[in-house]
Chains A and B, each alone.
Chain A
Amino acid sequence: MRTEDYALSIATPEPVEASPARTARGAAFDRLFEALCFSAATFLLCALGGIIVSLAIGGWPAFAKFGFHFFTTATWDPVAEVYGALGAIVGTLATSALALIFALPLSLGVAIFLVELCPTVLRRPIGTAVELLAGIPSIVYGMWGLFVFAPWFAMHIQMPLMMAAPAGSVWEKLVAGVPNGANILTASVILAIMILPFMAATLRELMLTVPSQVRESAYGLGSTTFEVVRKVSLPYVRTGAIGAVMLGLGRALGETMAVTFIIGNAHGLPTAVFASGATIASTIANEFAEATGEMHTASLIALGLVLFVITFVVLALARLLIGRQAHA
């Protein structure tokens, strides 16, 4: 904001003459400070641009060698130096989609609980607790998932389901896999727990923007809470809510450590929800530091670029839909 921009609301007396040298210095430093702030903002732009450019350059050898096959084949063979991204791409999309399916109803439930149902005394502690769930580092989720959740899941859910499946049925194919709990489904459940607090927080902010007169009118007409939420609150925040979902999706797509721990890290196309798989992020995390050759490194960076493009589109859509009113 420049000095001239300030509207003076009252009549001012004749200003006292300041020393010209001082005024000049102040003005010079004003420009310097604005330039400083401007460069910091531009730095952000450069960082994002730099990420795209560096990934494109680093991944170029892989795109050049494999061409479009890079996206359509699922072979990932560092020994033969043949790389296809399809397995990792499908793994990423599948885990994220499943995570979203689990997390969406739950996060809506939490948001509605906090806005409509929660006793006032509990509102702050529960809100904070949900926020803490968002604060737990990804690697802790990974350890918990691998050492606590996966064995429990294998014992109490996976084994019984496999036992119950009739031989030769589609059901049996669907639940096939090593019963150790490290698979696509458990990875999705952990992802769901991780994105739940983000989506719940955004949805809550959105639902708080619904004018209370509108909600109260609906209650006054005799609506139940369910009807108020379904017919008044949710339609009011619809666009933003889709944005919140996209935001959760963006998080899930790029989530690395937790998935790396628990997905089983198997290349190739995943065949069942109880099968091991890999995502783009988990493949990079596992292999990049020990990549065997230049083509291996390039292929991993190319994978990174694919992930970047996917998440960029999703996050950009999310931001456009949420708008700036609800601060996520």
Chain B
Amino acid sequence: MNRRLTRNVGNAAFLAFCWAATGLALLALAAILWSLLKQGIGGLDANVFTMSTPAPGSEGGLLNAILGSVMMCALAMLGAVVIGVLAGTWLAEYAKASRYGALVRFLNDVLLSAPSILVGLFVYEIIVAPTKGFSGYAGAVALALLAVPVITRTTEDVLRLQPVALREASVALGAPVWRTILAVVWKAAQGGMLTGALLAFARISGETAPLLFTALNNQFLNLNLGQPTANLPVVIFQYALSAYDDWRRLAWTGAMLIALSVLAVTIVARLLTRELRRS
């Protein structure tokens, strides 16, 4: 009887721990979202979207930072989707069990979680230092390098899920392999590939470290990516650590905007996979 008691008590303690751990994780999420809303919503007014970052003590918003972030992310995604989809296609359709394929796959997985600040250093070395200038383009390249591994991985995964019979059917109709891939395999996998792109977008839109010394920052509205370009993450970083209350308020508002948009994109990507599984 005694042994049974200890087993049951041990089990109950274990179950309680698992519940508590999950509760703690959910609590952390709730606490962070709560602070963001509490501190950020007060500063959310029309100025945020219509004015550029202010000098301390004067009125201003985040327009230049939001625009800069959007431009750099868009450019980065454009490049990353092309390279990532092609690389993922090669891994899924051509590489098969080849050694080179295994190597690329492995290194892609390492790149997937490599520290983003090192990507920033790399881009600084190859673009910023030779051209002697921080620029939005350098920032976009750094972000693209972070997005490519995510897209490659998801593309390969979803392409592998497509049945071989589909490809055989297309080839049997006389289509060359490239058309088979473009018009049949990609077509069938497009939902999953879109999910991958969304996840990559969610990842890069909040990245700060690689932009610190590539895009740097810019106090003024600037549509030329050849110049240092303002972007939300770096503005948040600088303003949050500043001594001015109004700058800190803007930082919270910016942090709220960025977190909510990232979470929204993640949820959309999530719902998309759900739809796909169902169909």
A residues at B contact (CB < 8 Å): 1-3, 6-9, 12, 15, 18, 26-27, 29-30, 32-34, 36-45, 47-48, 50-51, 54-55, 57-58, 105-110, 112-114, 116-118, 126, 128-133, 135-144, 146-148, 193, 196-197, 200, 224-227, 229, 247, 250-251, 253-257, 261, 281, 284-285, 288-289, 301, 304, 307-308, 311-312, 315-316, 319, 324, 327
Contact = CB atoms under 8 A, between A and B. Distances in A.
B26 interface: yes
Contact of B208 (A26, A44, A139, A311): A139
A304 B117 contact: yes
A155 to B, nearest CB: 16
B270 A113 contact: no
B172 A12 contact: yes
A57 B122 CA distance: 11
Contacts of B168: 6-9
A51 B22 contact: no
Contacts of B208: 137-139, 256-257
Contact of A117 (B19, B32, B236): B19
Nearest to A112: B18
24 contacts: A6-B168, A38-B90, A44-B83, A107-B21, A109-B18, A110-B21, A117-B15, A117-B19, A128-B270, A129-B25, A132-B263, A137-B233, A137-B259, A139-B237, A140-B255, A144-B31, A148-B31, A193-B25, A226-B11, A251-B113, A254-B115, A254-B118, A261-B241, A312-B114
Contacts of B177: 1-3, 30, 33-34
Contacts of B89: 37, 40
Contacts of A9: 168
Contacts of B115: 253-256, 281, 307-308, 311
A40 B83 contact: yes
B230 interface: no
A285 B211 CA distance: 10
B133 to A, nearest CB: 13
Contacts of A30: 176-178
B107 interface: yes
Given A44-B111, A311-B115, A139 B255 contact: yes
Contacts of A40: 82-87, 89-90
A289 B216 contact: yes
Contacts of B205: 137
Contacts of B82: 40
Contacts of B111: 44, 47-48
B240 A36 contact: no
A308 B111 CA distance: 11
Interface string B164-186: 10011001101011110100000
A29 B178 contact: yes
Contacts of A316: 106, 110
A44 B10 contact: no
B125 interface: yes
A136 B265 CA distance: 11
A259 B273 CA distance: 33
Contacts of B20: 109
B243 interface: no
B240 A315 contact: no
Given A7-B168, A40-B85, 20 more contacts: A1-B96, A41-B86, A41-B90, A44-B148, A47-B148, A108-B21, A113-B21, A130-B26, A133-B25, A136-B29, A139-B236, A143-B236, A144-B32, A147-B39, A197-B25, A226-B11, A256-B209, A285-B117, A315-B113, A319-B106
Contacts of A255: 115
A199 to B, nearest CB: 11
Contacts of A247: 113
Given A33-B177, A36-B86, A257-B208, A6 B167 contact: yes
**Of A18, A44, A58, A311, most B-chain CB atoms within 10 Å:** A44
Nearest to A38: B90
Nearest to B263: A132
B109 interface: yes
A244 to B, nearest CB: 12
A126 B252 contact: no
